[in-house]
Amino acid sequence: FTFFTVITSSLSQSNQFCDAGTGSSKLLVKGGTVVNAHHQQIADVYVEDGVIVAVNPNIRVGDDVTVIDAFGKYVMPGGIDPHTHLELDFVFPGTVDDFFSGQAAALAGGTTMHIDFALPLNGSLTAGFEDYVKKAKKSCMDYGFHMVISKWDETVSREMELLVKEKGINSFKFFMAYKGLAMINDELLLEGFKKCKSLGALAMVHAENGDAVYEGQEKMIELGITGPEGHALSRPSVVEGEATGRAIRLADFVNTPLYVVHVMSIDAMEEIAKARKSGQKVIGEPIASGLALDESWLWHPDFEIAAKYVTSPPMRKRGHDKALQAALSTGVLQLVGTDHCAYNSSQKALGIDDFRKIPNGINGIEERMHLVWDIMVESGQITPSDYVRLTSTECARIFNIYPKKGAILPGSDADIIILNPNSSFEISAKSHHSRMDTNVYEGRTGKGKIEVTIAGGRIVWENDELKVTPGSGRYIQMPPFSYLFDGLDKKDAIYLNSLQAPVKRAKVSS
Ligand code: URP
Ligand code: ZN
Ligand code: ZN
Ligand code: ZN
């Protein structure tokens, strides 16, 4: 049997798709509890041509409108995953999910937009951007890009400006790990932060001390520890905490906002907590696996199972997961990503004799929305409104596309999910929609099931069936100067005013 129908006859012609798929471009989601980050109410949601037109109780419509029953269920903004790697060719062989299969999986799990990390091509940011535009042509949901910076010169600086001013990029990622490949030193990090600030673009960091990681890896190999457990042992949380603290202090020195991707440890989280407490604009992004899993899997006697869990920074000891959950519920961390980066077991097997050669990456793009609901809402740690904020709204605000995305409001894009809190989900590689042959959450069950996904006003997931069209996803341009930049110029002016005129000293004759 097939898991999803691919409608290929109507590339980019949404009307045709609509007729083939749902029969109407007008939808009414009836009687559900509509949840936004600021408010929830029982209401109907009326959609026309991909946009939410009205949110009110008892909306009356004609019979040309498709009505979807949501009584007793939550109607929420589709998830936005701030951290994915589809069709990635970096360090390791290519990932198995491309912009079509990864997005199809996302839609089946209630995520309706993602922001992927575009890589430079032969050192050029603009060539890298164009390369990703090509890769994303087969998209079936909306997407944006962050751009990775892996070296520094005048050309890179100019290209950053062009990407922000003309191409809809408003964030740049710097790798403090992957020594000899993408790792950048503090000098470059400072140059990059300054440029980001001048452009109103958000600086993001992969925070692990790459020199320490390299040292740790050498040590494990010398000790004869070559299995997946060597991955965790070689890069303990102290190297994540150190890099996180360093990046935060350098961003403070430059006075620019900072976004720390994949926060996996208490060490890193506490650096973020301390900075935020002092008033610094630092965003911390844990990922679904950091909330749901721990490092014990890396000691599994079956290599194929253990290798699935290799990702960087690594999963930590039990306790870090709970601390990250608590940090999310108290606002120390602000949103949840996945770092979805899909490799098959045959690719993971490249590192059978040496953990350093195991492709780094785990799945999550399809599972995140269910896991966060189960782990955070069902446990009583957060409310449905908090859930919307952590999985959608805050991401839209940080990347400056709110309330087009991240809200159920008149004028917002019709990216909507219906979650049944009384139903349950079960995760397995046998039923997931990613091309991966394994799943790090194999066999996991939980409460809450996303029964319907509406993306761009189209019903793409219903009755456990996907109806997706390659080419129907749109590139979402993200403008610079998000709310994180508000007030920075005032702080800069106060700092400049505080500098006294140079001290006049009498010349001392020798
Ligand atoms: O191990 C990981 N996370 N691979 C993807 C690249 C990155 O560092 O985010
Ligand atoms: Zn139609
Ligand atoms: Zn990373
Ligand atoms: Zn990543």
pLDDT (0 to 100) of residue 24: 62
Which residue positions in the chain have pLDDT lower than 50?
1-23
CA distance 33 to 29: 10
341 lines ligand 1 (CB under 6 A): yes
User: From the alpha carbon of 206, which atom of ligand 1 is closest?
Assistant: 8
pLDDT (0 to 100) of residue 337: 98
The two most distant CA atoms of the chain are separated, in Å, by 97
Please report the ipTM that was assigned to this predicted complex: 0.88
206 lines ligand 1 (CB under 6 A): yes
How many whole angstroms from 93 Cα to the centroid of ligand 4? 15
87 lines ligand 1 (CB under 6 A): no
pLDDT (0 to 100) of residue 12: 36
Task: State phi, psi for 306 to the nearest 5 degrees.
Answer: -60, -40
pLDDT (0 to 100) of residue 189: 96
- Please give the span between the terminal C-alpha atoms of the chain, in angstroms, as a whole number: 94
240 lines ligand 1 (CB under 6 A): no
Q: Where exactly are the structural domains of the chain?
A: 99-409+480-485
pLDDT digits (tens, 9 = 90+) for 129-161: 999 999 999 999 999 999 999 989 999 999 999
How many whole angstroms from 312 Cα to the centroid of ligand 1? 5
How many whole angstroms from 83 Cα to the centroid of ligand 4? 6
CA distance 400 to 168: 11
pLDDT (0 to 100) of residue 21: 43
pLDDT digits (tens, 9 = 90+) for 303-312: 999 999 999 9
Under CATH, what is the fold of the domain 99-409+480-485? TIM Barrel (3.20.20)
85 lines ligand 1 (CB under 6 A): yes
pLDDT (0 to 100) of residue 17: 36
- Write the CB contacts of 395 (distance below 8 Å, at least 6 apart in sequence): 80, 81, 82, 115, 335, 405, 406
How many whole angstroms from 24 Cα to the centroid of ligand 2? 4
For residue 470, whether the previous peptide bond is cis, meaning omega lies within 30 degrees of 0, is no
**Is residue 91 within 8 Å of 175, Cβ to Cβ?**
no
DSSP letters, 426-469, are E--TTT-SSS-S--TTTT-EEEEEEEEEEETTEEEEETTEEEE-
DSSP letters, 323-371, are HHHHHHHTTSS---B--B----HHHHGGGTT-GGGSPP-B--TTTHHHH
Instruction: Name the residue with tokens 């859930």.
Output: 387
**Is residue 498 within 8 Å of 255, Cβ to Cβ?**
no
